[in-house]
C-alpha cells in the first residue's frame, strides 16, 4: 500500500557454509529461499488519511470525504467528514495481534447529520478501506499474514525469492504522534494487548451476528440479536449503545413507531454505570427528541468540549445553539463551534444569521468573507455571496444586501438568482423602478434559458401589487406559476388575496381552494421550511371564507387542511374549533326550521363514473377531458357526476397523486352517504400509491400511505 513504508526487512539464508564466495553478488543467491527474520513497518498518519479518503466515497456522502486520524498507543480515533453537507462519522479502532495477523476492532461509533446507525456506517467505512485484504466478522477485521504479504511484494521486485515467514509474530505495535510503528520478529511472542483492545474484542464477539445484520441494513433483525446478546451480558455499555442507535434510526425512519426515542434513552440509562463520553452524543439527541431540552443543551455543550473529532464537536455545539432560546448563549455556542472546526460551513452560516438578528452586521460580513475563502472556484464563491445576500435581505439589511448581490454578479453576470436578489434588495431599499426592472430581467433570463425562476416571478408580482399598484398584472404573474413549482402554494394564496382586494370574491375563493388542494397533495412531502408558508395561506383562506363570504363550512375545510399541515399549531386548532362550533350551530338552527316540500333526489348523487369501463383507453382524449372536467368542477364544486367522471379519467391515466388530492377534498366535504361511496375509491388510490412507492424503493413513503389507508374510516 502506498501509505505503508518498509523501514527494515531482514532475511536469513540457512544452510550456507563458510568460507562463503560472494564474488557473484546478490544474483548468486537469488535462487535460494530465505527465512524472514524481521519486518519493521511505519504507517504515517497523513499518508493513511490521504490514501483512505477516495476509498470512502459514498459512505457518508457522494464525494470523497475528509479523513482525520488521532493516533493512540494501540489504535486510533477516526473522523470522516463531509463538510458541505454537515455530516460527520467518528469511531474508535483498536489494534490487536495474533501471531502474524493484525485484528482491528470497531467500537464507540457516533455520528451527526446521518440517518443510519453509527456502528453500521463505521463498519462499512472500514470495509471500504480494507477491501478484500481483510476478513470481516461483524465489527472485527482480520488482516492475515501481513508481514508475509509485505515480503512477497518487496523482495521479488529486487531479485530475491519470497522468504519463509513461519514463526513470525508482531512484537511491537506502537502509536506515536504522527503514525504507527509495527515490528514483527521471528521466534518472539506477540505483543501484549491493551485493556481497550480486550474490551473491544469482547464487545465485537458478543455483537457479531447483530453487526452482520446491521451491515446488511436489516435493522429489525439486528435489534432482535442485540436484545439476545444483552440477555447474556446485561447492561453491557457497547451493546446498549448499539441497540439504542438502532432504535433511534428506526424511529426516525418510520414516524408511526411511537416511543422509540424513549426506549432508546431508557436503554442508555440502564448502561450508564459503564458509560463513556462517546455515548453522550446519542444521549443528547435522544434527550432533545423526548422533550428534555435543557438536558440536551448541556449534553451537546459537553460534547463540544470533550469530543476529539473537531467537526463532530462543532456540529454538537451547533445543535445546542439551535435548541436554546437565549440568542447570546446561542452565539457563544456557535463561537465554540467555529473554533473547533473553522472549515465547517454549517455553524458559520448559523452564526451569520444570528449575528444579523443581533445587529452585528460587520461580524456577519466577516463570516461571509471567511465562507468565500473556504469556497473553491468562481461559481462556488458566487453562491456564497448569493446566499449571504439573501440572509442580509431577509434580516432587513437591504443596503448591505445590495452590495453582496453585486459581488455575486461579479462571478456570474447573467446569474438569474443573483439578478433577482439584487432587484429585491433595491425594491426593499426604496429603488422600486430599478428593482422591478432587474426582477423583470431575471424572469426574462429564466424564460430564454429554459430555467425555472418562479421565486423571481413572485417577487416581481409582489412589487407590481404592493408597490406599483398594478394588481391585475400581479395576478397574472402569480397565476402563471405552475402546479409543480415549489412556490405554487404561495402563488395561489397571493392570487386569492389580490383577487379579493379587486372585488373578485368568487375568483379569490377558487384560488384559495386550489391552494388547499395543493397543500393536501403535498402533505406527506412538504418540507418543514415550507409548512409555515402553507399554514399562513390556509389560515388566511379560512379567515376570508368566514369574514368575507360568511361561509363557515368552507372556512372549516380550509382550517382542517391547516391542522393537517401543522397538527400542533394552537392558532390553527383554535380557529378550527371556532369554525366547527359555527357550522354545528348553523346546522342545528336549520334542523329546527319548518321544512317545505322535499326536493326529489337529483341525478348528481349517483356514484357511477361518467365514462364506461369498457370504453377503449384514449390518453389524448382523457387528458383533454380532465382539463375540461376540472374547469367544470371549479365552476360548480357540488357536481358529484363531474367528480365521478374525473375520478375515472385520472385513474385510467395513472395520475394517482392528483386523484388522491381530489378525493381527500371531496371526502372532507361529503355527507355520510357520499362519504361511504368515496372511501373505497380513496383506499384503492392509497393502495396504488403504496405499490408505486415500494416499486421505487421509497419504503418510508409507502408506510405513510399504508397508515393513511388504515386510518381512513
- Contact, 175 vs 76, CB < 8 A? yes
**pLDDT confidence tier of residue 1, bands split at 50, 70 and 90:** low
- Residue 602 confidence (pLDDT): 38
Between 372 and 581, the more confident residue is 372
Mean pLDDT in residue range 475-485? 91
Confidence check: pLDDT of 608 > 90? no
Residue 179's region, left for phi above 0, alpha for psi from -120 to 50, else beta, is: left
Say what the pLDDT of residue 611 is. Answer: 33
Averaged pLDDT for residues 281-301: 93
Query: Residue 395: how many CB atoms within 10 A of its CB?
Result: 20
The pLDDT value given to residue 449: 86
Q: Which residues pair with 11 in a beta bridge?
A: 36
Cα–Cα distance for residue pair 375/568, rounded to 1 Å: 39
Provide the pLDDT for residue 46.
93
Q: What is the mean pLDDT of residues 422-426?
A: 94
In this predicted model, which residue has the larger pLDDT, 704 or 425?
425
Q: State how far the Cα of 290 lies from the Cα of 274, in Å rounded to an integer.
A: 23
Give the pTM.
Answer: 0.74
pLDDT digits (tens, 9 = 90+) for 446-462: 988 888 889 999 999 99
Q: What is the mean pLDDT of residues 96-123?
A: 93
Whole-number percent of the chain with pLDDT over 70: 89
Residues ≥6 apart with Cβ < 8 Å to 469: none
Q: How confident is the model at residue 209 (pLDDT cuts 50, 70, 90)?
A: very high
How big is the CA angle at 276 (ends 273 and 282), to the nearest 5 degrees?
105
- The pLDDT value recorded for residue 258 is 47
pLDDT higher than threshold 90 for residue 124: yes
Report the range out of 391-400, 627-636, 640-649 with the highest average pLDDT. 391-400
pLDDT band at 141 (very low <50, low <70, confident <90, very high): very high
pLDDT by residue (tens digit) across 557-566? 999 999 999 8
In the structure grid, which three cell numbers stand for residue 187, read together? 521466534
The secondary structure of residue 246, as a DSSP letter, is H
- Contacts of residues 384-390 at CB distance under 8 Å and 24 or more positions apart, as own/partner, are 385/411, 385/418, 386/415, 386/417, 386/418, 386/421, 387/349, 388/352, 389/418, 389/421, 389/422, 389/425, 390/421
pLDDT band at 260 (very low <50, low <70, confident <90, very high): confident
**Would you say residue 298 has pLDDT above 50?**
yes
pLDDT at residue 590, as a whole number: 56
Reported as a pLDDT band with limits 50, 70 and 90, residue 21 is low
Q: Which segment of 82-86, 159-163, 327-331, 367-371 scores lowest on mean pLDDT? A: 159-163
The top-scoring range by mean pLDDT among 154-158, 544-548, 610-614, 693-697 is 544-548
Q: In what helix (H) or strand (E) does residue 139 lie, and over which residues does it extend?
A: none
pLDDT digits (tens, 9 = 90+) for 538-557: 999 999 999 998 888 889 99
Q: Which of 7-16, 193-202, 254-263, 600-609 has the lowest mean pLDDT?
A: 600-609
pLDDT at 610 exceeding the cut of 70 = no
Q: Is the pLDDT of residue 642 over 50?
A: yes
Query: Per the structure block, which three cell numbers stand in for 41?
Result: 513497518
Q: Secondary structure of 365-424 in the HEC alphabet?
A: HHHHHHHHHHCCCHHHHHHHHHHHHHHHHHCCCHHHHHHHHHHHHHHCCCCHHHHHHHHH
- Helical segments of 65-145, H only: 118-130
140: which DSSP letter? E
| 3-state secondary structure (DSSP) of residue 678 | helix
What is d(CA 588, CA 571) in angstroms, rounded to the nearest whole number?
26
Give the pLDDT mean for 671-692. 81
More confident position, 702 or 125: 125
C-alpha pair distances (Å), 243 with each of 108, 206, 291, 330 = 12, 13, 21, 32
Q: What is the pLDDT of residues 467-478, one digit of tens each?
A: 998 999 999 999
Binned at pLDDT 50, 70 and 90, residue 596 comes out as: very low
DSSP assignment letter at 299: H
Amino acid at each position: 500500500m502506498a501509505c505503508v513504508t518498509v523501514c527494515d526487512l531482514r532475511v536469513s539464508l540457512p544452510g550456507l557454509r563458510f568460507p562463503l564466495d560472494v564474488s557473484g553478488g546478490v544474483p548468486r543467491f537469488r535462487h535460494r529461499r530465505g527465512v524472514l527474520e524481521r519486518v519493521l513497518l511505519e504507517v504515517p498518519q497523513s499518508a493513511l488519511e490521504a490514501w483512505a479518503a477516495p476509498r470512502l466515497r459514498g459512505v457518508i456522502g457522494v464525494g470523497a470525504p475528509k479523513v482525520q486520524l488521532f493516533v493512540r498507543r494501540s489504535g486510533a480515533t477516526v473522523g470522516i467528514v463531509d463538510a458541505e453537507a454537515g455530516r460527520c462519522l467518528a469511531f474508535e479502532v483498536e489494534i490487536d495481534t495474533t501471531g502474524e495477523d493484525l485484528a482491528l476492532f470497531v467500537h464507540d461509533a457516533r455520528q451527526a447529520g446521518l440517518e443510519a446507525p453509527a456502528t453500521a456506517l463505521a463498519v462499512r467505512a472500514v470495509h471500504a478501506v480494507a477491501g478484500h485484504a481483510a476478513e470481516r466478522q461483524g465489527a472485527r477485521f482480520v488482516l492475515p499474514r501481513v508481514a508475509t504479504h509485505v515480503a512477497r511484494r518487496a523482495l521479488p521486485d529486487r531479485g530475491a525469492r519470497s522468504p519463509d515467514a513461519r514463526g513470525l509474530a508482531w512484537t511491537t505495535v506502537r502509536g506515536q504522534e504522527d503514525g504507527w510503528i509495527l515490528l514483527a520478529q521471528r521466534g518472539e511472542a506477540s505483543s501484549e494487548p491493551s485493556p481497550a483492545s480486550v474490551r473491544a474484542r469482547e464487545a465485537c464477539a458478543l455483537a457479531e451476528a447483530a453487526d452482520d445484520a446491521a451491515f446488511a441494513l436489516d435493522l429489525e433483525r439486528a435489534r432482535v440479536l442485540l436484545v439476545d446478546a444483552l440477555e447474556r451480558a446485561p447492561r453491557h455499555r457497547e451493546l446498549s449503545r448499539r441497540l439504542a442507535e438502532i432504535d433511534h434510526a428506526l424511529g426516525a425512519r418510520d414516524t408511526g413507531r411511537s416511543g422509540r426515542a424513549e426506549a432508546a434513552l431508557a436503554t442508555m440509562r440502564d448502561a450508564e454505570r459503564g458509560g463513556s463520553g462517546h455515548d453522550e452524543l446519542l444521549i443528547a439527541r435522544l434527550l432533545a427528541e423526548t422533550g428534555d431540552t435543557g438536558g440536551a443543551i448541556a449534553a451537546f455543550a459537553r460534547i463540544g468540549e470533550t469530543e476529539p473529532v473537531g467537526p463532530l464537536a462543532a456540529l454538537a455545539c451547533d445543535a445546542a445553539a439551535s435548541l436554546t432560546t437565549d440568542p447570546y448563549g446561542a452565539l457563544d455556542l456557535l463561537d465554540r463551534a467555529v473554533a473547533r472546526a473553522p472549515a465547517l460551513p454549517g455553524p458559520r452560516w448559523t452564526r451569520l444569521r444570528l449575528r444579523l438578528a443581533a445587529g452585528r452586521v460587520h461580524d456577519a460580513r466577516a463570516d461571509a468573507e471567511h465562507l468565500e475563502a473556504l469556497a473553491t472556484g468562481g461559481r462556488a464563491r458566487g453562491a456564497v455571496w448569493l446566499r449571504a445576500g439573501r440572509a442580509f435581505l431577509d434580516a432587513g439589511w437591504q443596503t448591505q444586501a445590495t452590495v453582496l448581490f453585486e459581488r455575486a454578479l461579479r462571478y456570474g453576470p447573467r446569474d438569474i438568482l443573483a439578478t433577482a436578489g439584487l432587484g429585491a434588495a433595491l425594491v426593499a431599499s426604496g429603488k422600486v423602478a430599478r428593482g422591478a426592472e432587474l426582477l423583470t430581467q431575471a424572469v426574462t433570463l429564466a424564460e430564454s434559458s429554459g430555467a425555472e425562476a418562479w421565486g423571481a416571478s413572485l417577487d416581481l408580482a409582489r412589487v407590481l401589487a404592493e408597490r406599483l399598484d398594478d394588481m391585475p398584472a400581479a395576478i397574472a404573474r402569480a397565476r402563471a406559476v405552475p402546479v409543480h413549482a415549489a412556490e405554487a402554494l404561495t402563488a395561489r394564496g397571493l392570487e386569492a388575496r389580490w383577487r379579493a382586494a379587486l372585488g373578485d370574491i368568487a375568483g379569490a375563493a377558487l384560488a384559495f381552494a386550489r391552494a388547499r388542494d395543493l397543500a393536501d397533495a403535498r402533505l406527506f412531502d412538504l418540507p418543514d421550511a415550507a409548512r409555515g408558508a402553507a399554514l399562513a395561506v390556509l389560515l388566511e383562506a379560512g379567515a376570508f371564507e368566514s369574514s368575507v363570504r360568511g361561509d363557515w363550512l368552507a372556512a372549516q375545510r380550509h382550517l382542517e387542511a391547516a391542522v393537517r399541515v401543522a397538527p400542533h399549531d394552537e392558532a390553527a386548532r383554535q380557529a378550527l374549533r371556532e369554525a366547527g362550533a359555527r357550522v354545528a350551530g348553523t346546522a342545528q338552527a336549520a334542523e329546527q326550521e319548518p321544512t317545505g316540500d322535499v326536493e326529489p333526489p337529483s341525478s348528481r348523487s349517483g356514484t357511477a363514473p361518467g365514462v364506461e369501463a369498457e370504453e377503449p383507453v384514449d390518453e389524448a382524449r382523457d387528458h383533454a377531458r380532465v382539463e375540461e372536467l376540472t374547469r367544470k368542477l371549479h365552476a360548480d364544486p357540488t357536481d358529484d357526476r363531474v367528480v365521478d367522471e374525473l375520478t375515472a379519467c385520472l385513474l385510467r391515466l395513472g395520475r394517482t397523486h392528483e386523484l388522491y388530492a381530489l378525493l381527500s377534498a371531496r371526502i372532507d366535504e361529503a355527507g355520510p352517504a357520499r362519504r361511504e361511496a368515496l372511501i373505497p375509491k380513496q383506499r384503492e388510490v392509497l393502495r396504488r400509491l403504496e405499490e408505486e412507492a415500494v416499486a421505487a424503493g421509497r419504503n418510508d413513503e409507502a408506510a405513510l400511505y399504508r397508515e393513511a389507508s388504515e386510518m381512513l374510516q
